Amino acid sequence: MRIATWNVNSITARLPRLLAWLESSGTDVLCLQEAKIAEEKFPFGELRELGYEAAVNATGRWNGVAVLSRVGLEDVVRGLPGDPGYEGAEEPRAVSATCGPVRVWSVYVPNGREVGHPHYAYKIQWFEALRAAVAGDATGSRPFAVMGDYNVAPTDDDVFDRAAFEGSTHVTEAERAALAALREAGLTDVVPRPLKYDHPYTYWDYRQLAFPKNRGMRIDLVYGNEPFAKAVTDAYVDREERKGKGASDHAPVVVDLDV
């Protein structure tokens, strides 16, 4: 079974590439983030033609997540139970579903904007709510994973230059502590480092030739429980999908399972 996570940075802008990638990659389940589309405009028909069902939590221009599956889609939960909300509203940042033998969450963790900004406090609170929401499945016997754009680099080795991020979000002690607390709930990072290259980044800014210079970050993560981690046979970042015209600024992270 092949599952993946990918921040597509607008499914409308990326739809041709997404459909082509699904066909060529042989992916059974895809957790998708930053759909940037209202659910009623989501391309259910095009995906159905390829054999995929979709569970979607999306409301419009910003955020939006989905789980695409060609191996079944059951027990869908839209939204994060206990979501703290931002400025009085819940943002569409989480959706979960059971896909065949595996249960997955697709998450798009708040960016945080700036250290000290209200959105940064919201980010830490959102992590706490996520930890509480997944605790039961994390210690269960069914393969389970929380996949998506975490907007946190777990270690200094996961950014091209730690000094370049001094005073910025994504690398602060509080963010990394929140990520560590999620792991302590019973999850582990199932994508090994190094992979086929020294720094398997998953995100590169569009500006300043960041991708050609490999000035990236590893912020798209797959955290699985023990049954999930034991089933992993391979994992990689599909760096090729970041290349070329019309690419997302994130690359897919792919995990193969023997379940």
> Left, alpha or beta for 60 (phi > 0: left; psi -120 to 50: alpha)?
left
Instruction: Give which of 118, 182, 185 is closest to 152, Cα–Cα.
Output: 182
Q: CA 57 to CA 37: how far, in whole Å? A: 10
Structure tokens at 34: 């930053």
Residues known to be catalytic: 108, 149, 250
- Say if CB 25 and CB 254 are below 8 A apart: yes
3-state helix, strand, coil in the chain (%, to 5): 30, 30, 45
As a whole number of angstroms, the longest Cα–Cα distance in the chain is: 47
- Determine the Cα–Cα distance for residues 4 and 51; give it in Å rounded to an integer: 16
| Other residues' Cβ atoms within 10 Å of the Cβ of residue 141 | 9
CA gap 114, 181 in Å, rounded = 22
249 is in an annotated binding site: yes
Give the contacts of 224 (CB within 8 A, at least 6 positions apart). Answer: 143, 144, 145, 146, 187, 188, 190, 232, 255
**What residues form the annotated binding site for Mg(2+)?**
7, 34, 149, 151, 249-250
